[in-house]
A and B are shown apart, each in its own frame.
Chain A
């Protein structure tokens, strides 16, 4: 009798252990542009694989890439390419999966848009960020000073924007009035002002935060999915997730899920251009 109860006890312990071993928690961190896709996909993936949970946090592309260098997360999210310095530190130990394409919109407050500013050339945008143009009136808009919102140096949106507009991903922006962080923060700043200009992924536009057309030659191109698809919008980029080559197999499976038709549907629903 006693022997049987020992056996039962052992079986219970083993099954408990097996259960614990099969429950995996993955952590994803980085770009707040990629975040909505990954967190929606994480919930969908968890429904299919109840033993795998994925926690998601923001911080910016720089944080996502740094988390791969420092092994502080299983999945890194980045809305820009890895630069040379980071690539040296990663030393080929990371796989990059491109899951979507996206436009970095030049956004203005609703009042500015309604006031007449519907398009700017790259040159004009650069002059605003360099502090050479300070009033919307000079650009055909309302007589109001320009509230220039720059982003933290680590943000992918900032890299892509500065590279396209100012010619260098790390260029200084002496015309900036304030530094923002996440897409949410940027969106709130633009929405609360009547005279702001900023940079934001096109999936985050709304009635208060309007994307303007960017002039290229004598054509003005609006930041929407169609112009990302035909590569005519000048400030576009790819969205990536990063996985350590030695990372858990579940992370790799999740990356494949993002590239599957179901994952790509989530990409589309989030407002980005699917890659497949």
Chain B
């Protein structure tokens, strides 16, 4: 009975994913049919001139996610090591519940905090015209994905067996050698899943990013200029979906953004699982 129930729920979630992808593909089909894959390389997005280039938004999405990971991976790992390996009982649980609290804050709250605190800060300290840029989006995202990385790393570290810890200690390894040679390598599959899940969340986050990224459809120029207003796939959909008439080319192009996002995040979470399974067996 339990088995049947579990199978049915698994099947239902699979069907939902397939249906969702099917819907996105169907709705974005006129767009792909009209322009082929060429918009993937063009940065010009002017719906009223029927130009729907996706490059600026795709690059923006990846930049914001990369900045987020570049900050959240080292801090998340450090926080997890600190709380599992160094701190004792009450402090450990305090840190963990702090992280879980961080994970529970709605994204619009992060967005508003970004708007009120982060943007003026960036603007005045970096002498910019405006704080709206990819760096701001990346910084906000780094706080938002930090709990994912930290909690997954914590769980992975806790799973490293006492046996292995004892062996490492009896070999006379110092603490840092144990950390780099035993603990982190053993926990790596879990950490890796955490990072990939965090990447998925960073790419998919809408509200907070939309409020701080500036929503300008421009490819960063030069390519590493993170201090100019830019666009992400999610912020484009968030800003424009309300005005686009159902069935229009504009709507279809926004659905194409959605399809790209869905494909990327599904691939990432599948990667996260494949790696975990391989190492376990």
Measuring CB to CB, which residues of chain A are less than 8 angstroms from any residue of chain B? 59-60, 62-63, 66, 69-70, 86, 89, 145, 147, 152-154, 170, 172, 176-179, 181, 188-189, 192-193, 195
Contacts and interface: CB of A to CB of B under 8 A. Distances in A.
A144 to B, nearest CB: 9
Q: Which 10 A-B pairs have the closest CB atoms?
A: A62-B243, A154-B243, A170-B48, A63-B242, A179-B215, A147-B129, A178-B214, A178-B229, A59-B242, A178-B132
Interface in B192-243: 214-216, 229, 239-240, 242-243
A192 B243 contact: no
B30 interface: no
A149 to B, nearest CB: 9
A193 B214 contact: no
Contact of B240 (A69, A86, A152): A152
Contacts of A181: 239
B262 to A, nearest CB: 23
A219 B47 CA distance: 37
A178 B115 CA distance: 14
A86 to B, nearest CB: 8
Nearest to B132: A178
Interface in B108-125: 115, 119-120, 123
Given A153-B47, A179-B215, A195 B243 contact: no
B216 A154 contact: no
B130 A70 contact: no
Contact of A172 (B46, B240, B244, B246): B46
A210 to B, nearest CB: 19
A178 B216 contact: yes
A89 B243 contact: no
Contacts, number: 62
B242 A66 contact: yes
B47 to A, nearest CB: 6
Nearest to A144: B129
A195 B216 CA distance: 19
A176 B130 contact: no
A178 B243 contact: no
Most buried by B among A147, A177, A189, A193: A177
Contacts of B47: 153
A66 B244 contact: yes
B46 A152 contact: no
B129 A145 contact: yes
A172 B218 CA distance: 13
Contact of B130 (A62, A66, A170, A177): A177
A10 B38 CA distance: 67
Contacts of A86: 245
Contact of A179 (B214, B243, B244): B214
B166 interface: no
Nearest to B251: A66
Contacts of B130: 147, 177-178, 189, 193
A177 B46 CA distance: 16
Nearest to B120: A192
Contacts of A153: 47-48, 240, 243
Contacts of B129: 145, 147, 177, 193, 195
Contacts of A154: 240, 242-243
Contacts of A66: 242-245
Nearest to A188: B115
16 contacts: A59-B243, A63-B243, A66-B242, A66-B243, A66-B244, A70-B245, A152-B240, A153-B47, A153-B243, A177-B214, A178-B130, A178-B214, A179-B214, A179-B239, A192-B119, A192-B123
A178 B244 contact: no
B280 to A, nearest CB: 47
A66 B242 CA distance: 8
Given A170-B49, A177-B130, A193-B130, A89 B245 contact: yes
Nearest to A152: B239
Given A62-B243, A66-B242, A179-B216, 18 more contacts: A59-B242, A66-B243, A66-B244, A86-B245, A145-B129, A147-B130, A152-B215, A152-B243, A153-B240, A154-B240, A170-B48, A177-B130, A177-B214, A178-B215, A179-B229, A188-B115, A192-B119, A195-B129
A127 B61 CA distance: 31
Contacts of A59: 242-243
Contacts of B216: 176-179
Contacts of B49: 170
Nearest to A70: B246
Contacts of A189: 130
A14 B81 CA distance: 66
B242 A60 contact: yes
Contacts of B215: 152, 178-179
A153 B245 CA distance: 14
B239 to A, nearest CB: 6
